C-alpha cells in the first residue's frame, strides 16, 4: 500500500459516481473498487449485517480471490467484532491477533493488515467495510477517515437504492392489480369491440323483427 494524498477531488469523483447509481449491488462494487484503487491496497470488501443470523454477508469485493471470498460464513460476533460496536479497528499483523475468525485463510490469501469500519445509517448498523493490505500497514487517521466517509455514503446509497427498488416493485404490483380490476369491471358485449349503445340498438331491432 502506498501512502497517497486523498484530496477533495478524489472524494468528490467517487461520491458523485456512487450517488448516480440506483442499484445496491452496483453501489457496493463501485465503492470497494474505488477504495482499493484510491489507497492502492490488496483488496476491499463490503459486508451487510444479517440480524437474524448475526452474520456479515458479502455484498461486494474487489481484489480478493474466490477461495478467500468463499472461505465460510463471517460471524459478526467472531470476526473483528469490536469494530461493529466501538468503531474502526485496524489490525497491523493478522498472524498475531485473536480477533480474526479466519487467520489461516487470510495468511494464505497474502493479507498482512486489515482495517474494519462499521457502516451505520440513521443510527442503525447495516454492515462493515474492510480494507486488506499485502504488506504490514499502520493505517493513518486520513486512511480511516477516507474509508469511513465512503462507507457511510455507500451505506446511505444502498439503503436508498433498496427503497427505490422496493418502491418500484410495489408500484408495478399495484399497476398490475389495477389493470386486472379494470378488466373485470369493463362491460363486454356479444359484439367484440362494439360500444354497448350500438349493440343494444342491434339487439332491439332483432327483437322487433321477431
Can you give the residue ranges of every domain in the chain?
8-162
List pLDDT tens digits, range 141-175.
Answer: 989 999 999 999 888 888 887 777 666 665 666 66
Contacts for 54 with CB less than 8 Å, ≥ 6 apart: 75, 76, 77
Kindly report the average pLDDT of the chain as a whole number: 80
C-alpha cell at 133: 493490505
**What letter would DSSP give residue 70?**
T
The CATH architecture assigned to 8-162 reads 2-Layer Sandwich (3.30)
List pLDDT tens digits, range 188-205.
Answer: 444 444 444 444 444 454
pTM, two decimal places? 0.74
Distance CA 185, CA 101 (A): 61
What string of H, E and C letters represents the secondary structure of 75-115?
ECCCCCCHHHHHCCEEECCHHHCCCCCCHHHHHHHCCCEEE
Amino acid at each position: 500500500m502506498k501512502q497517497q494524498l486523498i484530496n477533495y477531488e478524489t472524494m468528490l469523483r467517487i461520491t458523485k459516481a456512487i450517488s448516480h447509481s440506483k442499484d445496491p449491488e452496483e453501489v457496493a462494487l463501485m465503492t470497494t473498487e474505488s477504495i482499493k484503487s484510491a489507497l492502492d491496497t490488496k483488496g476491499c470488501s463490503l459486508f451487510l449485517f444479517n440480524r437474524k443470523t448475526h452474520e456479515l454477508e458479502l455484498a461486494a469485493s474487489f481484489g480478493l480471490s474466490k477461495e478467500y471470498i468463499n472461505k465460510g460464513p463471517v460471524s459478526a460476533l467472531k470476526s473483528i467484532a469490536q469494530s461493529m460496536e466501538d468503531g474502526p479497528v485496524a489490525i497491523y499483523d493478522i498472524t498475531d491477533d485473536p480477533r480474526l475468525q479466519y487467520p489461516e485463510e487470510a495468511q494464505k490469501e497474502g493479507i498482512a493488515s486489515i482495517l474494519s469500519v462499521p457502516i451505520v445509517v440513521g443510527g442503525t448498523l447495516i454492515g462493515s467495510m474492510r480494507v486488506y493490505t499485502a504488506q504490514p500497514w499502520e493505517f493513518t487517521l486520513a486512511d480511516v477517515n477516507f474509508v469511513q466517509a465512503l462507507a457511510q455514503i455507500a451505506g446511505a446509497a444502498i439503503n436508498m437504492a433498496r427503497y427505490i427498488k422496493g418502491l418500484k416493485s410495489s408500484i408495478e404490483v399495484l399497476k398490475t392489480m389495477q389493470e386486472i380490476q379494470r378488466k373485470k369491471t369493463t362491460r363486454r358485449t356479444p359484439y367484440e369491440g362494439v360500444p354497448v349503445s350500438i349493440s343494444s340498438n342491434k339487439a332491439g331491432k332483432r327483437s322487433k323483427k321477431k
